[in-house]
Homo-oligomer: A and B are copies of this chain.
Amino acid sequence: MITGHGDDAYQFNYEIVSNFSSNVYNKFDLKDLKEYLWANIASIHSYPEPDALTLRKLIGKKLNISSEEISVTNGATEAIYLIAQAFRGSKTAVVIPTFREYEDACEIHEHSLYFIESLDNIEPDTQLVWLCNPNNPTGKIYDKEYLKGIISSNPNTCFVIDQSYAAFTENKIWNASEALNFNNVILLHSLTKCYAIPGLRLGYITAQKDKIDLIKHYSMPWSVNQLAQLAGLYLLENVTYKFSDYLPESQRVQRQLSEIFGIKVYMSEMHFFLCQLEQGKASDLKKFLIETEGFLIRDAANFRGLDASYFRIAVQDKMNNNLLIKAIEEWTKLSF
């Protein structure tokens, strides 16, 4: 387990005023969900369904696929670790820079790993490819037609496509039903990011039944707790997310930051994006922002392919975004 993921406020003795460090929109209003959980709090006294059957059925209904083409997981993270087990020892490619857990899970389960920056560089005999789409931390979105071409021309390679951030893009990416046309595609989904509930741990896998059965062979019972399962049932029936105001604000923040001397912004269509310092270390900027403003950003040094000069920002509300821009500008003036 690496340390240094985002949302690491617990490591600091400062009150966090605004959290730009995890790719979760923290201003989502979930009063009704919370009241629903409170109304059902007595459910903590019973075991959860061992494989979340009721929630699988509801997801299946919503996505127009079978509950047997779904596995509900303890966040997308459990999905990653189960797939790494199911493909133990495979020749495996990870498209970088990206979320670190693909690599970590595959190392634990003795994959023969290599790293590529483009899907055009998949080596022969590769059994598994990990792709985050939209990608964390870059916000890059792969075109669906391009992906179809790559997947069709590599029929013996299984593609795990992590769509945890799907809800935040208006771009056309896969839906679960389309992806089921391919036997060599496994989609990962997260409810953590779009509903702002990373504390509950809830995700799911969709794939053809033979792939789901393979993954379930490695699953343990009860991995998703009662309140997480209940939250999933409630949210899918009652809450529609809408991020249309959020993406233009991300564009605005990216433009303004890119005008600061010494900051390079890697433009992204998403609500989060990668920045690079032309000099100095992101860890120093992070420390400054916590101490002066109570703002938490993601030091991106531990993404493979990046270094200590990179950091990631997930935009929040306009007022705090503006304060962040000002504080970063101030730091560059003090440091450069």
A residues adjacent to B (C-beta < 8 A): 1-3, 5-7, 9-10, 19, 22, 24, 26, 28, 30, 34, 37-38, 41-51, 53-54, 74-75, 77-78, 80-81, 85, 101, 105, 108, 196-201, 216-223, 225-228, 231
| A47 CB contact (under 8 Å) in B7, B28, B101 | B7
Q: Given that A1-B50, A5-B50, A53-B10 are known contacts, is A223 also in contact with B44, CB under 8 Å in the complex?
A: no
Would you give the shortest CB distance from A198 to chain B, in whole angstroms?
4
Would you give the shortest CB distance from A84 to chain B, in whole angstroms?
10
| A44 CB contact (under 8 Å) in B2, B47, B51, B199 | B199
**Contact at A34–B24, with CB atoms within 8 Å?**
no
**Contact at A47–B34, with CB atoms within 8 Å?**
no
CB-based nearest B residue for A84 = B220
**Contact at A77–B38, with CB atoms within 8 Å?**
no
Would you give the shortest CB distance from A320 to chain B, in whole angstroms?
15
CB-based nearest B residue for A231 = B44
**Contact at A198–B47, with CB atoms within 8 Å?**
yes
CB-based nearest B residue for A192 = B47
How many monomers of this chain does the complex have?
2
Contacts of A74 in B (CB 8 A): 74, 222-223, 225
**Contact at B220–A201, with CB atoms within 8 Å?**
no
Q: Given that A201-B222, A217-B108, A221-B1 are known contacts, is A41 also in contact with B37, CB under 8 Å in the complex?
A: yes
| A45 CB contact (under 8 Å) in B77, B199, B218, B221 | B199
Q: Could you give 30 example pairs across A and B, Cβ below 8 Å? A: A2-B221, A3-B50, A5-B47, A7-B46, A19-B46, A24-B45, A30-B44, A34-B42, A38-B41, A44-B197, A44-B198, A44-B200, A44-B231, A45-B199, A47-B198, A48-B198, A48-B201, A75-B222, A77-B221, A78-B223, A80-B220, A105-B220, A108-B217, A198-B222, A201-B223, A201-B225, A223-B223, A225-B227, A225-B228, A227-B227
**Contact at B201–A49, with CB atoms within 8 Å?**
no
CB-based nearest B residue for A217 = B108
**A1→B22 CA distance, assembly (Å):** 33
